[in-house]
Amino acid sequence: MPSVRRVCHEFLERQGLTTVFGNPGSNELPFLAGLPAGFRYVLGLHEGAVVGMADGYAQASGRPVLVNLHAAAGSGNAMGALTNAVASRTPLVVVAGQQVRPAIGPEANLTNTDAPALLKPLVGWSAEPACAEDVPRALAQAVFEARLQRRPTYLSVPYDDWAAQAGANSLAVLDRQAWRAAVPGGEQARWLAGRVAAAERPALVLGGDIDAPGLFENAVRLAEHLGCPVWAAPSLFRLPFPNRHPLFRGVLPAGIAPVCEAFEGHDLVLVLGAPVFRYHEHLPGRYLPEGTRLIQVTDDASAAARAPMGEALVADPAAVVDLLLKEVPGSPARAVRTPGGHRPVPEPATAEGPRLHPEQVFAALRDEMPEDTAYVVESTSTNSAWWRQMDLRRPGSYYFPAAGGLGFGLPGAVGVAMARPGRPVAGVIGDGSANYGITALWTAARERVPLTIVLLRNGTYGALRWFGGLLGVPDAPGLDIPGMDFTRIAEGYGVRAHHAGGPEELRALLAEQPDGPRLIQVDTALTAPS
Ligand code: TZD
Ligand code: CA
């Protein structure tokens, strides 16, 4: 009979979870013994960076990814990064090492006390198998729960389990598969198509789940078919629609009152692939204008259940988009006759003095980077400058920390670039944000990941200064971060680095395509996020 470890390695290989992001400790070493040649273990130097890289990799590949963390300390370090993975619905399978079974009760050093409870509030499923024989089945459950729920899962495994003999029945997991399909039934389909067809002024709100190959393009078709305006859902983390399309109205503001205002005059708001809604700033008001009806379509049952208003249909948004394209008559009056007539970009704003306006940086990216570049953005005060300058037309073009937890951007860019080796990737990272995931630079150098990091150095936590104004706190301490030279930090981690002193120098650097990681630091002027 093979060992538990052998069966688990084989299961992971069959499921395609062979790129493992981790930072191991003694408890984890027995799982890593004899890892077959097809596995790639990507070492991260801090668990926040490990999860950020795995998150980017899983989002860009659309597949579950294995994360290997050290007991309670490593899992704890990962928790902030996991908040983003929960909000982006990333299927991360976290496997943490545990002390040997007889040492757990007496709490020997490195015991993960009550391990399943540690990450419970964040993950979709959390367990420590009751006996060694159950480890292969539990690992399969961790993978399938992550895929079916689209949420991270957590499995704690006592390290003496890996060398144990697998039971005969353990081998059954090797052939397991679990899929999900949720096509609306006839009655639901008729109800939904009827509602959309009857609407006089419908509006679409698209969420991160729409940013998938095929679905992204079909959502454009649906919007053009209905001839209706499109918003991206608030607290955007993936771009679900080309941002200069004539029907695109931008990202909904993340407050109750401004969302209500945006929907004024619409009789139906159809939300596809998003929670209703991830508000941020507390701007109270009515949820919806008088007479506006909201229908949410999501495959996330919890998002459907917790929405504070509207009707919800739990179904695959891709199936629903297909259905609506087929069943709802097009609107000749509203139809967009010249799809492809994208809105032009404005001249970038400029700044006083030697610093660049962020719009100049983004205009340089737009003009000099290849059109299919994937951007991972973690720069918080430059949000409106970003959307004013960028022209993103393809799926998988934009990633942002989904729960607003900093530390995703730099590692996430490394993960996206590893998952999509054919596609140019740029991280657009603030000087504050960079520090939460800075160690990912070392992994990028070690793995020779082709990647451009544009580091925006304004010397401050810009977004917090803006928030200070909003919340009536003009004098908060701890918001300035002067005195960091990221070219030297990057070089210390083995990453080639440049300082761009002006727009032309920046453009010239961006026009070169790197064969490994590089960082370009640029001094920027402070702007407001909106
Ligand atoms: N810690 C973590 C893990 N996540 C956070 N979101 C914050 C702290 C608070 N925070 C923000 O929400 S924005 C921000 C902080 C510290 C400033 C980020 O600074 P930056 O970008 O230099 O990356 P800007 O453009 O200067 O705002
Ligand atoms: Ca900053």
Find the mean pLDDT for residues 418-422: 96
Which of 3.40.50.620, 3.10.20.70, 3.40.50.970, 3.40.50.300 is the CATH number of 4-175?
A: 3.40.50.970
Check whether 67 has a pLDDT greater than 70: yes
Share of the chain above pLDDT 90, in %: 94
Q: Nearest CA to 38 among 4, 75, 8, 13?
A: 13
Is there a catalytic annotation at residue 70? yes
- pLDDT bucket at 294, cuts 50 / 70 / 90: very high
Task: Specify the pLDDT at position 331.
Answer: 76
Nearest ligand to the CA atom of 464: 1
Task: Specify the pLDDT at position 530.
Answer: 82
Is there a catalytic annotation at residue 404? yes
| Rounded Cα distance, 5 and 445, in Å | 31
Find the mean pLDDT for residues 233-239: 97
Contacts for 525 with CB less than 8 Å, ≥ 6 apart: 351, 352, 353, 355, 356, 357, 358, 458
* Helix and strand totals (H; E) in the chain: 19, 18
Check whether 370 has a pLDDT greater than 80: yes
In the reported structure, the alpha carbon of residue 458 is separated from the centroid of ligand 2 by a whole-number distance in angstroms of: 5
Work out the end-to-end distance of the chain between its first and last CA atoms, rounded to an integer number of angstroms: 62
Q: Residue 52 is inside which H or E element, if any? A: helix 47-61
Identify the three-state secondary structure at position 383: helix
Task: Name the pTM for this structure.
Answer: 0.97
Task: Specify the pLDDT at position 105.
Answer: 97
Task: Specify the pLDDT at position 341.
Answer: 80
Q: Residue 358 to residues 46, 324, 362, 446, 455: CA-CA distances in angstroms?
A: 30, 40, 6, 30, 11
Mutate to test the pocket of ligand 1, among 383, 406, 436 (most ligand atoms within 8 A of CB): 406
Q: Nearest CA to 365 among 518, 490, 506?
A: 506
Q: Nearest CA to 294 among 272, 311, 277?
A: 311
Find the mean pLDDT for residues 390-407: 98
Task: Specify the pLDDT at position 358.
Answer: 98
| Rounded Cα distance, 4 and 1, in Å | 9
- pLDDT bucket at 470, cuts 50 / 70 / 90: confident
Task: Specify the pLDDT at position 528.
Answer: 86
Check whether 342 has a pLDDT greater than 60: yes
In the reported structure, the alpha carbon of residue 449 is separated from the centroid of ligand 1 by a whole-number distance in angstroms of: 26
Identity (one letter) of the amino acid at 205?
A: V
Q: Residue 39 to residues 16, 18, 26, 144, 223: CA-CA distances in angstroms?
A: 9, 5, 20, 20, 42
- Residue 126's DSSP bridge partners are 154
Check whether 335 has a pLDDT greater than 80: no
Residues lining ligand 1, judged by CB closer than 6 Å?
Answer: 80, 379-382, 404-407, 430-433, 436, 458, 460-464
DSSP H helical ranges for 132-214:
135-149, 186-198
Tell the residue nearest (CA) to atom 10 of ligand 1.
Answer: 464
Which of 3.40.50.970, 3.40.1670.10, 3.40.50.300, 3.40.50.720 is the CATH number of 358-523?
A: 3.40.50.970
Identity (one letter) of the amino acid at 93?
A: V
Q: Residue 93 to residues 54, 127, 146: CA-CA distances in angstroms?
A: 10, 12, 6
- Determine which one of 28, 128, 224, 359 is catalytic: 28
Q: What is the atom index within ligand 1 of the atom nearest the CA of 434?
A: 23
| Rounded Cα distance, 329 and 317, in Å | 19
Do the domains at 4-175 and 358-523 have one common CATH topology?
yes
Q: Nearest CA to 142 among 185, 99, 200, 96?
A: 96
Nearest ligand to the CA atom of 438: 1
Residue-wise pLDDT for 135-182, tens only, equals 999 999 999 999 999 999 999 999 999 999 999 999 999 999 999 988
| Rounded Cα distance, 226 and 139, in Å | 45
Find the mean pLDDT for residues 220-233: 97
Q: Nearest CA to 400 among 46, 79, 52, 21?
A: 52
Q: What is the CATH number of domain 186-334?
A: 3.40.50.1220
What's the mean per-residue pLDDT of the chain?
96
In the reported structure, the alpha carbon of residue 339 is separated from the centroid of ligand 1 by a whole-number distance in angstroms of: 38
- Domains of the chain: which residue ranges? 4-175, 186-334, 358-523
Task: Specify the pLDDT at position 155.
Answer: 98
Mutate to test the pocket of ligand 1, among 458, 461, 471, 479 (most ligand atoms within 8 A of CB): 461
In the reported structure, the alpha carbon of residue 406 is separated from the centroid of ligand 1 by a whole-number distance in angstroms of: 6
In the reported structure, the alpha carbon of residue 363 is separated from the centroid of ligand 2 by a whole-number distance in angstroms of: 19
Residue-wise pLDDT for 29-58, tens only, equals 999 999 999 999 999 999 999 999 999 999
Task: Specify the pLDDT at position 337.
Answer: 54
Residue 528 or 441, more confident? 441
Is there a catalytic annotation at residue 26? yes
Q: 3-state SS of the chain: helix, strand, coil percent to 5?
A: 40, 20, 45
